[in-house]
Structure 1
């Protein structure tokens, strides 16, 4: 089933197309064939700027969770043999502090529709019955509508596409490694989340964006790259503003 065949979603997609195409046309005198790529970068920066308040609330929540670590350890020691009671007491502690262990999921959820729309815009040859002119744009010779996996699996082989994707994935991997090293989670004694296996799994999550990027069109991969770079810079600034307790 094509979700964008429903009139409301089709109208939303067409409006997004019109806005991005208009922005690309405005930027074309300066950016040429890469105008649509630059438009994606501008849209990404606008989205991230809108989400700054969410980032601030997330940093505050992280600071509170770090302060709650001793209390969580005490709950583990007191109710470790009663999982249901431990869960109730843990959630009550978070509620009393007006925070949540899932606060970090909100930015991802808010961005999911943007990534989905970008993915769709650069996947379809037609939008609302008219040709998708965005597919005529590229970034340094790499078509914005092509994914790395599709190029390698179905061809034709394109060195510019391989190079551009390689640079973007490398940037994402470097950012993921810096994030993993600088923003290690605070371990909680006797907690399943602090086991070596769980810590390795949580570290691996930092690299999922780079893995996901090779399956989506270049336009969406560009959005993801700018997003992870912005997120790292924002977290560095906010960590200084909201330092974690020793």
Structure 2
């Protein structure tokens, strides 16, 4: 079943198409053939700018969690043989501080509808009964409506397509590696999260965006690339504004 056959969603998709196509047309004198890609970049920047208050809240929550780390270690020491009690006490501690261990997921969830609409706009051959002109656009010769996996499997991945995708994926991987190194979470004593297997899983999660990007149209991948760069820069700036306790203590090392 096509969810966009539902009239309200169809109207939303058509409105998004009109806005993006109009922005692309306005940018053509400046960006030429890459006008649609530039429009996606501007939409990304607008979305992330609107989410700045969410990022600030996330940074405050991260600072609070770091401050609670000694209490969490004490709870783990006290209730390590009683997992159910440990879970209850941990959640009670978070509630008492008006925060949550899942606060960092909000920016990702807030962007999901935008990514879904971009994915659909560059996937459907027609929008509201008229041809989808966005599919005629490209970025430096790479079609905006084609995913990396589709281009490779269909044999349509030319040199331009491969170079554009290589650049985007390299950018996302570099950002993921910097994020992994700079924002490594503080370890908790005797925590299952400190096991080698779990640490590998946590490290690998930083690269999920690059994995997901190869499955979506290039336009959506451009959105993902811009947003991960924004996220890294924003987190670095907010970490300076809301430093973690160990980053401001005497003799502390570099910010993690």
1:76: which partner in 2?
76
Corresponding residue SS for 1:157: coil
Aligned 1:14-163 pairs, distance under 5 A: 14-163=14-163
5+ residue gaps, structure 2, are: 247-256
CA distance in 1, matches of 2:157, 2:165: 13
CA distance in 2, matches of 1:131, 1:163: 28
Q: For 1:189-226, what per-residue CA distance to the aligned partner results, in whole angstroms no more than 9, with x for missing partners? A: 01111222111110100001011111110000000000
CA RMSD across the alignment: 0.7
Query: Mean alpha-carbon deviation: is it higher for 47-56 or for 192-201?
Result: 192-201
CA distance in 2, matches of 1:12, 1:186: 43
How far the C-alpha of 1:27 sits from its partner, in A, is 0.5
CA distance in 2, matches of 1:201, 1:245: 26
CA distance in 1, matches of 2:47, 2:219: 15
5+ residue gaps, structure 1, are: none
2:249: which partner in 1?
none
CA distance in 2, matches of 1:97, 1:8: 40
Aligned length: 246
Corresponding residue SS for 1:104: helix
1:3: which partner in 2?
3
CA distance in 1, matches of 2:162, 2:218: 11
Corresponding residue SS for 2:118: helix
Q: Taking structure 2 as the reference length, what is the TM-score of the superposition?
A: 0.95
CA distance in 1, matches of 2:196, 2:61: 24
CA distance in 1, matches of 2:158, 2:4: 30
Q: Taking structure 1 as the reference length, what is the TM-score of the superposition?
A: 0.99
CA distance in 2, matches of 1:39, 1:16: 12
2:210: which partner in 1?
210
CA distance in 1, matches of 2:155, 2:35: 25
How far the C-alpha of 1:157 sits from its partner, in A, is 2.9
Any runs of at least 4 consecutive aligned residues in structure 1 with deviations exceeding 3 A, and if so which?
none
CA distance in 2, matches of 1:164, 1:154: 17
